[in-house]
Chains A and B, each alone.
Chain A
Amino acid sequence: MTDNVFRSDVRAFLAESLTPDIKRAGELMTSVFADFDATMEWHRILYAKGWVAPDWPEEYGGTGWTLSQRYIFQEECKLANAPALFAMGLQMLGPMLIRYGTAEQKKYYLPRMLSGEDVWCQGYSEPGAGSDLASLITAAVRDGDDYIINGSKIWTSYAQHSNKIFCLVRTAKEGKPQAGISFILVDMDTKGLSVEPIVGLDGTVEQCQVYFDDVRVPAANLVGAENQGWDVAKSLLEFERGGHNFTIDHKKQMAKIDHQASTQRSAGGGLWKDNPVFAAKVADVAVDALALEFTELRVKGAFEAGGNAGALSSLIKVMGTEIGQRFNELSLEIMAEHAFVKQLDALVPGFEGDAIGPSCGLTTMAEYINNRAATIYGGSAEIQRDIIAKRVLHL
């Protein structure tokens, strides 16, 4: 099948399957997460179609698509405003379990992940261990056939909606900090586990702190051997960094700015699009976004030729997030006072009231403030620069 035929098949499916409410949830995204209920509804639709995990090997429920087809699928979903599926299970834990999990773990967890029965969150960061993740202290102590976990995890995205969490825990204190870490799967219903929501700057809850107070977990839930968790996690971080395509996001941001600049007036009477100072600022960011688009194509080319992204994936993470933030700033300049208005109810799909101000400014402020996190999560911009300094420049 040619890529063009594939693309039109995907488009036809999206046109038929995206209900207005699901689509609205995608339009109203103000961070990497969309409305939970709408997202899970979309997850189940994709599952029924067999398209929920295109990146997985076919034998585990993947689609068998080429790299190019997967890219097209991702692009078309975003352009059609489909909500992004939660990545923690499908994008992160799934590929890792396929690589390191036991046969029993794969058989039990993978189908539940595909169907959406299990919703996973990630327990890595701790109040005292962020960029220096290896200094984590949440401890798992062996007791018969179980581990007993005590400690706390923080910045756990959507823990309030999850029924499972995968964690890095300390199982040894000797040697290098990395050498005493294990990777373990925990049921969120287990006694002693509690979730405390953290209210973000936009007034909504995406992050949580998760507390472990004598939480008893079967030793069979270890992934990889005891004290080998760091290697497992490292492979996962590669999935996290390699798995995102920024160009589509940037194009959508650019389209939004075009729309805002073509409808809103700037000082002195004309539209923003006719303000030469503003146009130059847009062009400045757009040129960098174009350069990043071609860099992503270089990486895609390297993958297709059987190579890997190497440290270009760190470059893409840094530049992709920083360019995205610059687009947010441009939108905020246009929408200005309209962006002040906090109307969280209008950001929920199915809202039937009258929103205040132009609809193109509804999400502007929330996107701007929420996107500051983009250069912090998934390896901060500074950590990424450290990686490039070490691995590419050999400093």
Chain B
Amino acid sequence: MFIEYSEEQNMLRDSAERYLRDNYSFESRQAAVKQARGFDADQWQTFAELGWLAMTFKEESDGFGGGALETMILCEQFGKYLVLEPYLESVVLVGGLVEAGAQPEIKQQYLSGLIAGERQGAFAYLEEGAVADPTFVQTTAESSADGFVLNGKKTVVLNGPEADCFIVSARTGAVGQDSSQGISLFFIHKDTPGLSLTQYKTYDGRSASELQLENVAVSDQALVGELHNGFATATPVFSRAMVAVCAEAVGAMDALLAATVDYTKQRKQFGQSISGFQVLRHRMVDMFMEIELTRSLLMATAWKLDNHAADAELCVAALKAKVGKAGRYVSHNAVQLHGGIGTTDEFSVGHYFKRLAVIGVMFGSRDSHLSRYSQLSTQLSVEPS
């Protein structure tokens, strides 16, 4: 059997669960949303002290050597408690890219700060009009005497307002046979001349930016990964990020189902608890089944990524497609079964719904992952596990 958690993994889950249950109430979360930063800096520092931010970095980077399974374990709890802090943006995405592809000088200067929670990052990979396709890149990076000069505009850069540094995708060469060819990644400090931000809030209580680049000059050292082939570095990081958000979705769906079961037991109409009505009972069972199927795919996918299974990418596509469908089914019905209260800002259910709505379409919606699944499944059949 492939999914057996180690003692360390069980401890990680238990301690994350315990810490967040005791220290991350919905009320304090909502208070943090209203602050200028949009999250709680003390919490972020505590996450670092607990070792969560270092968990998935290699030991030579002063991490704990965890993989996709550890990412999954943490993010499932983050989803359950609607954690706002930018773990996905700063650790999974930027931390992952820096560790995998940054030049030694940048790595040395920034990685330990990212791991310690002292610095934050944001990955600027989307452009207006093509958010479904991160290989649509019109931002350019031209070779200069001592590096590159970048021009262009990136959209919906998650965690942009808080970031000390950005990784920006830019076109350095022509589109090849594959649309991801000719794209390179660059590490850029936020104070670099020519870089400007417009910041805003997102519906799920977080922050993001539009990023303008006007003759932003960077040195050769800024290149992350191979020239013209940034996607070779980005693709595994995206896969890990998809495991992260899908785990968050499973945690959020668990919380929604528990809240819905609880609410329908307490809520009385027609002289009885509405949980006695079979149409509602079966609806909640269908929510449960969607969650469990998604959880099975999630566990298997994380395991397959860690073990470099040939069908790992196929499973990532399946997982993301499944999360798109299950997230909608579970969140829509959680709101529906809560009735009016489910549609208010003061109650938690609507906030889980919004986070699931965001996750469902982030990094490719259900349809795009179904077609990716189709393509990949004709290339290989799933191995027996």
Q: Give chain A's interface residues, CB within 8 Å of chain B.
A: 273, 276, 279-280, 282-284, 286-288, 290-295, 297-298, 300-301, 304, 312, 315, 318-319, 382, 385-386, 388-389, 392-395
Contact = CB atoms under 8 A, between A and B. Distances in A.
27 contacts: A280-B374, A283-B374, A286-B373, A290-B318, A290-B382, A291-B293, A291-B294, A292-B296, A293-B385, A294-B299, A294-B385, A295-B296, A297-B1, A318-B289, A319-B289, A319-B293, A382-B282, A385-B282, A385-B286, A386-B282, A389-B285, A392-B288, A393-B257, A393-B281, A395-B261, A395-B275, A395-B276
Q: Chain B: interface secondary structure?
A: helix
B300 A283 contact: no
A298 B385 CA distance: 11
Contacts of B300: 294, 297
Contacts of A304: 1
A280 B370 contact: yes
B284 A389 contact: yes
A312 B296 CA distance: 11
Nearest to B385: A297
Contacts, number: 101
Nearest to A322: B289
A388 B294 CA distance: 17
A70 to B, nearest CB: 14
A291 B322 contact: yes
A292 B292 CA distance: 9
A288 B293 contact: yes
B385 to A, nearest CB: 6
A283 B293 contact: no
Interface residues of B, number: 38
B377 interface: yes
A278 B284 CA distance: 30
B371 A291 contact: no
A395 B284 contact: yes
Contacts of A298: 3, 296, 299
B68 to A, nearest CB: 15
B265 interface: yes
A290 B293 CA distance: 9
A324 to B, nearest CB: 15
A389 B289 contact: no
B315 interface: yes
Given A283-B321, A294-B299, A301-B1, 4 more contacts: A287-B370, A288-B322, A385-B286, A395-B276
A393 B288 contact: yes
Nearest to B280: A395
Contacts of A293: 382, 385
B142 to A, nearest CB: 38
Nearest to B376: A283
Contact of B370 (A284, A300, A319): A284
Contacts of B1: 297, 300-301, 304
Contacts of A386: 278, 281-282
Interface in B257-279: 257, 261, 264-265, 275-276, 278
Contacts of A284: 321, 370
Contacts of B321: 283-284, 287
B281 A385 contact: yes
A27 to B, nearest CB: 20
Among the interface residues B3, B299, B300, which one has the most CB atoms of the partner chain A within 10 A? B300
A318 B315 CA distance: 23
Contacts of B282: 382, 385-386, 389
A382 B373 CA distance: 31
A291 B322 CA distance: 8
A108 to B, nearest CB: 39
A392 B257 CA distance: 12
B7 to A, nearest CB: 15
B288 A388 contact: yes
B73 to A, nearest CB: 16
B294 A280 contact: no
Contacts of B292: 295, 312, 315
A294 B293 CA distance: 8
A117 B377 CA distance: 46
A283 B367 CA distance: 10
Contacts of B276: 395
A301 B3 contact: yes
